[in-house]
């Protein structure tokens, strides 16, 4: 009997749920497990955004439509604060995405996951972004959701670091010329203007110390410098 090979079905990238639907806010309700809260400022910024920009479809509520048995739930998985503030502002409807036939455990997992997967803010890039729009439309704290003291720091032009006059010019220092250990070797330059110089130091010393990375090289140089005192 001839056997026919069958390919195993593999779950690939796919879309879950439908596109956002404009739905009555009265249809859904908050869950009782949300561990996330908002500061008064965050709440005020959210309210400001809804008033100024309207309710963007990309900020749709994610709703647990029904459980694995098909029983209706209509519980908010993600977006409870948007829902609450929208009601306060007099919204009657809002964009929503419904997920059906999923378990309560899955709904809870999504609440945790979606709130923890927004990425980390890079202050240097955020400052550059805010300064790039400042001339045309100066951002306010409520506009961008950043408290005023922090916003002012981000909008300030970064100071250009001054180079240590006592630091040797690495372009003129060969590996052979480097002393056995010297505190100047481990000055850490983690800004763009001097990072290249720091890299030259660590590469030259790594060969001598037989270390495998910059951290080990710096620690070894410090250890030797301290030992000589």
pLDDT score of 165 more than 60:
no
**Tens-digit pLDDT profile for residues 28-77:** 999 998 888 889 999 999 999 999 999 999 999 999 999 999 999 999 99
**Mean pLDDT to the nearest integer, 187-195:** 47
Cα pseudo-dihedral 39, 42, 44, 47, rounded to 10: -130
CA–CA separation, 203 vs 175, rounded Å?
Answer: 9
The per-residue pLDDT for 14 is: 61
Asked whether the predicted pLDDT for residue 26 surpasses 70, the reply is yes
* Averaged pLDDT of the chain: 77
Taking the C-alpha atoms of residue 30 and residue 204, their distance in angstroms, rounded to an integer, is 60
What's the predicted TM-score (pTM) here?
0.58
98: helix, coil or strand? strand
- What span, in angstroms and rounded, lies between the C-alpha atoms of 112 and 33? 10
Interacting residues of 61 by C-beta distance below 8 A, sequence separation 6+: 28, 76, 78, 79, 82, 83, 94, 95, 96, 97
CA distance 187 to 74: 58
Q: Is 98 exposed, middle or buried (0-12, 13-18, 19+ CB in 10 A)?
A: buried
pLDDT at 169 over 60: no
Predicted local confidence at residue 11, as pLDDT: 53
Q: Beta partners for 97?
A: 62
More confident call, 18 vs 41: 41
**What pLDDT is stored for residue 228 in this prediction?**
58
Average pLDDT score over residue span 208-226:
76
Locate the domains of the chain by residue range: 21-116, 123-155, 170-228
- The answer to whether the CB of 222 falls within 8 A of the CB of 186 is yes
Residue 112: predicted pLDDT: 83
**CATH architecture group of domain 21-116:** Alpha-Beta Complex (3.90)
Residue 213 pLDDT class (50, 70, 90 cuts): confident
- Residue 63: the pLDDT is 96
Residues 6+ apart with CB under 8 A from 134: 155
pLDDT surpassing 80 at residue 88: yes
CB 47 within 8 A of CB 85: yes
Q: Which two tokens stand for residue 224?
A: 């030797």
Max Cα separation, the chain?
Answer: 85
Measured distance between the N- and C-terminal CA atoms of the chain, rounded to whole angstroms:
85
- pLDDT band of 3, cuts 50, 70, 90: very low
Question: pLDDT (tens digit, 9 = 90+) per residue, 97-140?
Answer: 999 999 999 999 998 888 777 666 678 888 887 787 776 777 78
């Amino acid at each position: 009997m001839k056997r026919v090979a069958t390919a195993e079905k593999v779950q690939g990238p796919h879309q879950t749920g439908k596109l956002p639907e404009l739905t009555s806010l009265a249809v859904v309700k908050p869950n009782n497990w949300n561990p996330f809260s908002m500061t008064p400022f965050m709440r005020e910024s959210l309210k400001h955004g809804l008033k100024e920009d309207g309710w963007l479809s990309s900020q749709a509520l994610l709703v647990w439509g029904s459980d694995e048995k098909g029983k209706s739930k209509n519980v908010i998985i993600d977006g409870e604060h948007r829902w609450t503030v929208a009601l306060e502002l007099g919204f009657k409807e809002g964009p929503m995405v419904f997920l059906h036939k999923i378990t309560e455990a899955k709904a809870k997992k999504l609440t945790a996951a979606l709130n923890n997967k927004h990425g980390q803010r890079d202050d240097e890039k955020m400052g550059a972004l805010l300064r790039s729009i400042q001339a045309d439309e100066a951002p306010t704290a409520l506009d961008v959701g950043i408290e005023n003291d922090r916003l002012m720091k981000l909008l300030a032009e970064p100071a250009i670091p001054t180079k240590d006059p006592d630091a040797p010019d690495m372009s003129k220092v060969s590996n052979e010329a480097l002393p056995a250990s010297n505190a100047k070797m481990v000055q850490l330059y983690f800004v763009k203007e001097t990072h290249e110089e720091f890299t030259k130091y660590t590469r030259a010393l790594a060969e001598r110390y037989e270390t495998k990375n910059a951290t080990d090289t710096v620690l070894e140089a410090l250890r030797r410098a301290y030992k000589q005192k």
